[in-house]
Structure 1
Amino acid sequence: MGSVFTDIEAFGETLAASGLPPVLSRRHDGGEFRADVVARDLGPLKLIQLVTPEGECFRDARSTRAADEELWQIDLVTRGRARVEQGRGTADLSSADLVLIDPSRPVRFASTASTHVTMLVPRQELRLRPGDAARLVGVGIKGDRGPAALVSSLAQGMARSLTGFRTNEADRSAAAVIELVAVALEAQLGDARPAPDEALRDRILGYIEARLSDRDLTPAGIAAAHHISVRRLHKLFQDQPLTVAALIRHRRLERCRADLARSDRTVAAVAARWGFADPAHFSRLFKATYGYNAAALTSNNRARTVMVPTARPGQDGDAQIAER
């Protein structure tokens, strides 16, 4: 259940605490101020539902934060109308429409009394190419057809119903939602779709992300699931920073590091959740990659953790995932 606010300053403070990139109020309708906010986390995905009166707000270069450079913001209108201006794009949104926003850049919002849902997605999860992002930011996407309609329908009920998820369930569900968002954005690009190899590689990346906790996730299994040979799979990734096996290791290690930092689970339990069967091997791999022991993240006194240079891509230890 959300919090109802009649004071605009208290509402702004709660928005800041929710993780929403900051905005400055320009005006509201002048009547009684009444707003509502609900924030929920689903793995790496954050959803924030807002009920606001008519008004305007903006974000300028001085109010952006370094953390906002790590996010993409997808706004969805569920009731009322809104206008979003960013860069050279202007999106006029009605119910079910959505827009991609870069939280690290200035933006202006104006809306009627409305309800909308904001999804905050880590950039590393959505993996938008810079050229595609430039074309999509600030452009309205109709939510009454195609993949965008699925995103719109799903997001409308998510912010108030995300309860009862186990950690691995939340992460896998978030991966599925993020993949659906990626499909909707790709569809918006129309004729500027990626080349066939890029599209296939993107699908494989989404497949890997949704199955990181599966110990049987291997290049051979991934190739079979996409009806291609292992040789073809490796060729798709030959110009990428990481091989398929190294990518799986890297993403699993990132999930382990995030879990260890935000939970009181043991190193062995977290390692097992993300597909590492041998705790000793995991500990060696973790230290080789990050320069400190995984157990350091379970300590309350994290300030004592000694950091050394992180391994470069491809130097993340003696992984057990075979390249075949």
Structure 2
Amino acid sequence: MLIETAFHTGDVRVPERFACWREHISQSYVPVEVEGDSTVDVTASQRVLSLGAVQLWTMEHSPMTLRRTRKLIQQCDPGLYHLSLPLRGTMGLTSSDHEAEYERYDLVLHDTSRPHLMRAITSQGQDTILGTGLFVPRKSLPLPESAIDGLLMRRLSGREGIGALLAQFLTQVTRDSGSYRPDDGPRLGTVVVDLLSALLAHELAAGKSLPSDAHRQTLGVRIRAFILANLHDPQLAPSGIAAAHHISVSYLHRLFQHEEETVAAWIRRQRLERACRDLADSAQRTTPIHVIAARWGFPRAADFTRAFRNTYGMPPREYRNRS
């Protein structure tokens, strides 16, 4: 199971709930001023899953306002991007030069190093707001901060394209957290950073706001995200990847020329790592090995066994038994 911390006001005496929730938010996120009706019975809960350096959070709570001031930033500035995905209710964000409201399945990115005010508002007929999102170290994204600045507090769609992949990933990991092991956390964190980077790169490319070096970098991120989303396809190959991104195969290889692996080798390693994870998963103990192999792009069992043995020094069945 992933490493998780959780909080629920139901575990606290009624008169102390608002104060406890306010203190908990400042400790689990960054220092903020929490404004709400302290005279009512506050309903609030939070789960935070550790994905390596990335934190995946889910919160349900009564209407309230969070204020991040310059004074609080000076006291504590962890240098995070905060990605929010409202699932029920409306979220409003206000900064010195921007104000907007976000509905269900709008993705929005903001910077904890900048003053802002966040308002959580219930929908008609609802008592609480529900949302999920990420705390991501700024330095973990492979894009220039100056380019990302133009996307802060912009409405990004979580209903289609890469945004939908990211939204689905966040909700699925939260829902199925018990099916992962603690050492899966950093791997999942890498996937989510790749998806977020691909989404931002897509938005930047659409706005043609990238310098040439950054364009190459973001194109590489988009290509890796595309590969990870299509590992199950046995026909996945450099020619198809290049065509999907409207570049030549030779240019695709140049994008990987400073890496330790070729495109094909990177694809093979990603497939084998995921097959390893499934073979070691006790919940999949009865799943035939050839089914796991096909799931990760190896339709021929003999090809999978040969590639697995060459990489890990033993056949898949022996690896499963040792695990």
Q: For residues 91-128 of structure 1, what are the alpha-carbon distances to aligned partners after superposition, in whole Å with 9 as ceiling and x for unaligned?
A: 31111111111011111011213111130112222133
DSSP 3-state at the match of 1:228 = helix
TM-aligned CA deviation for residue 21 of structure 1: 1.8
Counterpart check, 1:201 vs 2:201 = no
Aligned match for 1:77, one of 80, 86, 91? 86
Aligned match for 1:23, one of 16, 32, 50? 32
Counterpart check, 1:169 vs 2:191 = no
Q: Which amino acid aligns with 2:97?
A: R
Counterpart check, 1:91 vs 2:107 = no
CA distance in 2, matches of 1:84, 1:143: 17
Query: Is the CA contact 2:157–2:163 (under 8 Å) kept in the aligned structure 1?
Result: yes
TM-aligned CA deviation for residue 130 of structure 1: 2.6
User: Which residue is 2:7 aligned to?
Assistant: 3
DSSP 3-state at the match of 2:45 = strand
Q: Which amino acid aligns with 2:176?
A: S
Q: Residue 52 and residue 191 in structure 1: after superposition, are their counterparts in 2 closer, same or farther (change >3 A)?
A: same
**Structure 2 unaligned residues grouped into runs of 5+:** 122-127, 228-237, 243-248, 261-323
Q: TM-score, normalised by structure 2?
A: 0.60
Query: Is the CA contact 2:194–2:221 (under 8 Å) kept in the aligned structure 1?
Result: no
Query: Is the CA contact 2:33–2:68 (under 8 Å) kept in the aligned structure 1?
Result: yes
Q: Which amino acid aligns with 2:95?
A: Q
**Structure 1 unaligned residues grouped into runs of 5+:** 212-221, 236-242, 246-324
CA RMSD, 1 decimal: 3.6
User: Which residue is 1:139 aligned to?
Assistant: 154
Counterpart check, 1:186 vs 2:201 = yes
Q: Which amino acid aligns with 1:158?
A: V
CA distance in 1, matches of 2:93, 2:132: 14
Q: Residue 182 and residue 106 in structure 1: after superposition, are their counterparts in 2 closer, same or farther (change >3 A)?
A: same
Number of aligned residues: 229
Counterpart check, 1:228 vs 2:244 = no
Query: Is the CA contact 1:39–1:159 (under 8 Å) kept in the aligned structure 2?
Result: no
CA distance in 1, matches of 2:33, 2:64: 11
DSSP 3-state at the match of 2:177 = coil
TM-aligned CA deviation for residue 207 of structure 1: 7.5
Aligned match for 1:32, one of 41, 61, 64? 41
Q: For residues 210-238 of structure 1, what are the alpha-carbon distances to aligned partners after superposition, in whole Å with 9 as ceiling and x for unaligned?
A: x9xxxxxxxxxx9xx97437993488xxx
Q: Residue 44 and residue 120 in structure 1: after superposition, are their counterparts in 2 closer, same or farther (change >3 A)?
A: same
User: Which residue is 1:299 aligned to?
Assistant: none
Counterpart check, 1:125 vs 2:140 = yes
Q: Residue 71 and residue 169 in structure 1: after superposition, are their counterparts in 2 closer, same or farther (change >3 A)?
A: same
Q: Which amino acid aligns with 1:14?
A: H
TM-aligned CA deviation for residue 138 of structure 1: 1.6
Q: TM-score, normalised by structure 1?
A: 0.59
DSSP 3-state at the match of 1:111 = strand
Deviates more, 1:192-201 or 1:117-126: 192-201
Query: Is the CA contact 2:51–2:187 (under 8 Å) kept in the aligned structure 1?
Result: no
Counterpart check, 1:48 vs 2:48 = no
DSSP 3-state at the match of 1:159 = helix
Q: For residues 46-92 of structure 1, what are the alpha-carbon distances to aligned partners after superposition, in whole Å with 9 as ceiling and x for unaligned?
A: 01111111121210011126764432110110111110123423231
Q: For residues 115-159 of structure 1, what are the alpha-carbon distances to aligned partners after superposition, in whole Å with 9 as ceiling and x for unaligned?
A: 111301122221331332221112222322221122222222433
Q: Which amino acid aligns with 1:71?
A: L
Q: For residues 221-261 of structure 1, what are the alpha-carbon distances to aligned partners after superposition, in whole Å with 9 as ceiling and x for unaligned?
A: x9xx97437993488xxxxxxx646xxxxxxxxxxxxxxxx
Q: Which amino acid aligns with 2:112?
A: P
CA distance in 2, matches of 1:41, 1:79: 23
CA distance in 1, matches of 2:220, 2:31: 34
Aligned match for 1:148, one of 163, 185, 199? 163
Q: Residue 228 and residue 145 in structure 1: after superposition, are their counterparts in 2 closer, same or farther (change >3 A)?
A: same
DSSP 3-state at the match of 1:128 = coil
DSSP 3-state at the match of 1:31 = coil
Deviates more, 1:110-119 or 1:150-159: 150-159
CA distance in 2, matches of 1:228, 1:173: 31
DSSP 3-state at the match of 1:127 = coil
Query: Is the CA contact 1:43–1:167 (under 8 Å) kept in the aligned structure 2?
Result: no
Q: Which amino acid aligns with 2:22?
A: G
